[in-house]
Amino acid sequence: MKSDGHSSSPAAPIVALAGEMLRPDGRPAHASNAAAADAAARAALEEGQAALLRAQQFAEPLLTGQQLDTGEDAFAHASAVADILRTIGGAPSLQAAAYLVYAGDFLQRPEDVIDKAFGPSYASLVTLTRKLVQIQRAAREAQVDEELQAQQTERVRKMLLAFSRDLRVVLLRLASRLQTLRWYAATRQPCPNSLADETSRVFSPLANRLGIWQIKWEMEDLAFRFQHPDEYKRIAKLLAEKRVEREASVEAVRKQLAADLQAHGVPAVVHGRPKHLYSIWKKMQGKRLDFERVMDVRALRVVVADVPACYAALSRVHERYQTVEGEFDDYIARPKPNGYRSLHTVVRGDDGRAIEVQIRTHEMHEHAEYGVAAHWAYKEAGAKGYAGVSAAGDYEGRLSEARKAVLRQLLAWERDFSGQAVSAEGAALDDRIYVFTPQATVIELPAGATPIDFAYALHTDLGHRCRGGKVDGVMVPLSTPLANGQTVEVVTVKEGGPSLDWLNPELGFLKSPRARAKVRAWFNAQAQASTIAKGRELVEKLLQREGRTALKLDDLASQLGFKDAQALFEVVGKDEYSLRNIEQLLRPPEPVAPDDEVPLFRRKPGASSRAPGGVLVVGVESLLTNLAKCCRPAPPDAIGGFVTRGQGVAVHRADCTNFRHMAQRLPERVLPVAWGSELARSEAMYPVDVAVEAADRQGLLRDITEVFAKDKTNVVGVHTQTVRDANGQTAWMTFTVEVADVARLAQVLAQVRRVAGVRHVKRK
């Protein structure tokens, strides 16, 4: 069937068998084929023809009277798909698969039935192709949001790529889509825009990359007809208005050129090239040309014996006709990315009008019509090779090269869309897999992904509650690697969270970095919740002791300078904020004595007192001082004093959070203090807290304490805690060491940082 405004040139059918091109009479296309390959090809041809007949007989009673979701008659569609595959070189075995794929829709257990009746290769093909049909239907019907529909269409493309190791799947989908477009055109029914859009975005570019021009051009024309009906009719009308005149002029030039080439010793077959409406419209749009200025409205194709004859024919064409400047392309010397080779030139005929001439060999013409599909083996792959036939040496090498050629073109097709280079052949296929939900939505995952990865890809909460997985209806362990095309279902519990075992790479539960990050985030949130709960408990107990349980917790936090109660609980739970600060806030300050009463301290003008530890309280005599434990000051830290109740002056570091809070509330209790003389300081040792974060291991505490011992730094206290977090087993350690001057502390901390496993070291 031809679409309106579209014509096609006849081409001899070619059957691709076991990697070898055969003509309909069974003779090999290349006389140098080995006898073994010739015999194998003949056997495969007979086997394929028998399979085709059996498949037709098997499918007809199942498909007769049935309709596809598009409205097409199922058996008529399957027969038309098989015929399209035949015209592009598909072997009888591939044509047989067209019937089995559609018959599978009307079987209870299609894979099992077809496996028993036709073998595992056909069963696999039916499974993969039916999966693609499901996702295409979901893309057209389930999505209404434009962005989501585009995303689903993109996944169709990726699924085609993922299944492309078996090119039969790709060719079946191309042929099926072409037949569906033909049916809409023939019945004059409106084609869904989503289907036409998917054709132009996915299937036409794929056919182009594989070089299957027959399918590419017709798909583009039909999609153009449905997407831009007014433009399609306008171009078709322009072609039709002068068709008789144009065809007459093309025929005259064709006969003239054929005779001229023959007369100059260049035997060639010259015929008119098909006119494609979409190509004409695209050139008019892209170059802003009028219809009359489109060069390939009139076109000829010259087919010769070999490459030298191509250039001989080109030379004669340029001698005989006037060339059009800038309209010559040598795709023989520089083939297109999909392997297309030909010479293109534009000349002016005797009437002065432009005509495009394409010159190629028979082999180039064959590739231009069928692309890499012409060199593929569409046979069953078994232990002994395709269709159970093994041929040695040259045959196996050619088959391997053919498979690599197809893979390279599909990877190049992927790069066309993604814009990303592929570092090694096959990498784009090997690092991703595509699986289905029970509702036929495609989920993209890294290769080796498990049911847990799948669950997290759907929803974070679903991943947390995942407890089991079904793959193609069968329960499997959660560590089972998934494969392309499988349908995965998640078994969940109503409440719960992930297991720590999932983060153990040796157990293989998670492959996706995104899923792993979500599990870590869950455990971090749990640890934070535990810390907050601990802090809340401590604060509430303090409020009970103080008889202030009616106090609102958020108000208390605000008075202490925190955003909300949760923030207060978290720092209290981490032991980063002293409860003494809350006590001091809750207890009212002592009344200040009037001027005529005895002052709090007796001062002597100009006098200062040196307190124990080498601390001077300026202007105060014989005053008790103590070093605050919350910040543990030591020379030469900047310090400040705060008058406490009954314990003299507490000396804090000037940057101590507690000191700043107390100074803001009770500034009258702040006293200036300073370190005494160097001699006085040398007589005292000051306790300092050092915080260490490290990956926990056996012997870690011993190694760190040895560093302090070698530096002759006395350790007077150690507190350690080990927790499991995003980094595994982490040890949080606090060492209380004695130093005469914190300037020396930097040296020993630098040594601690070099201990294996230590991540961070700092003075608290």
Domains in the chain and their CATH numbers?
A: 15-222 (1.10.3210.10), 241-374 (3.30.460.10), 434-511 (3.10.20.30), 523-586 (no CATH), 608-679 (no CATH), 686-763 (3.30.70.260)
- Examine the pLDDT at 116 and tell me if it is beyond 70: yes
Average pLDDT over residues 655-677: 84
- Examine the pLDDT at 427 and tell me if it is beyond 90: no
HSE, CB side, 13 Å, CA atoms: give it for residue 115. 8
Q: How far is C-alpha 393 from the geometric centre of its chain's CA atoms?
A: 39
- Looking at the chain, the whole-number percentage of residues with pLDDT higher than 90 is 17
What confidence tens digit (pLDDT) does each residue in 675-721 have? 876 655 556 788 888 999 888 888 888 888 888 888 888 888 888 88
pLDDT of residue 259: 92
pLDDT of residue 16: 32
What confidence tens digit (pLDDT) does each residue in 151-193 have? 656 666 666 666 555 677 788 888 999 999 999 999 988 888 8
pLDDT of residue 381: 31
Could you tell me which residue, 116 or 212, shows the higher pLDDT? 116
Distance CA 454, CA 460 (A): 10
pLDDT of residue 361: 93
Average pLDDT over residues 568-588: 80
pLDDT of residue 105: 85
What confidence tens digit (pLDDT) does each residue in 470-504 have? 998 899 999 999 987 688 899 999 888 899 899 88
Average pLDDT over residues 186-207: 84
For residue 27, what are the CA distances in angstroms to 22, 37, 374? 6, 12, 16
- Examine the pLDDT at 295 and tell me if it is beyond 70: no
- Examine the pLDDT at 9 and tell me if it is beyond 60: no
Distance CA 453, CA 512 (A): 6
pLDDT of residue 289: 54
Could you tell me which residue, 398 or 213, shows the higher pLDDT? 213
pLDDT band at 391 (very low <50, low <70, confident <90, very high): very low
Could you tell me which residue, 144 or 563, shows the higher pLDDT? 563
Contact 382, 121 (CB under 8 A): yes
pLDDT band at 317 (very low <50, low <70, confident <90, very high): very high
pTM of the model: 0.46
pLDDT of residue 724: 73
Distance CA 109, CA 557 (A): 65
pLDDT of residue 393: 39
pLDDT band at 726 (very low <50, low <70, confident <90, very high): low
Q: Determine the residue type at 17.
A: L
Q: Determine the residue type at 611.
A: A
Average pLDDT over residues 102-113: 87
pLDDT band at 594 (very low <50, low <70, confident <90, very high): very low
- Examine the pLDDT at 424 and tell me if it is beyond 70: no
Average pLDDT over residues 278-297: 58
Could you tell me which residue, 555 or 157, shows the higher pLDDT? 555
Burial class (CB in 10 A: 0-12, 13-18, 19+), 615: buried
pLDDT of residue 687: 87
Give me the chain's average pLDDT, please.
Answer: 75
pLDDT of residue 284: 59
Average pLDDT over residues 637-652: 84
pLDDT of residue 603: 38
Strands in 728-739's sheet, in edge-to-edge order, are 714-725, 728-739, 686-695, 758-763
Distance CA 563, CA 405 (A): 64
Burial class (CB in 10 A: 0-12, 13-18, 19+), 77: buried
Q: Could you please report the per-residue DSSP string of 509-550?
A: ----HHHHHHHHHHHHHHHHHHHHHHHHHHHHHHHHHHT-TT
pLDDT of residue 152: 59
What confidence tens digit (pLDDT) does each residue in 40-90 have? 667 767 777 888 999 999 999 999 999 988 889 999 999 999 999 888 777
- Examine the pLDDT at 331 and tell me if it is beyond 80: yes
pLDDT of residue 607: 38
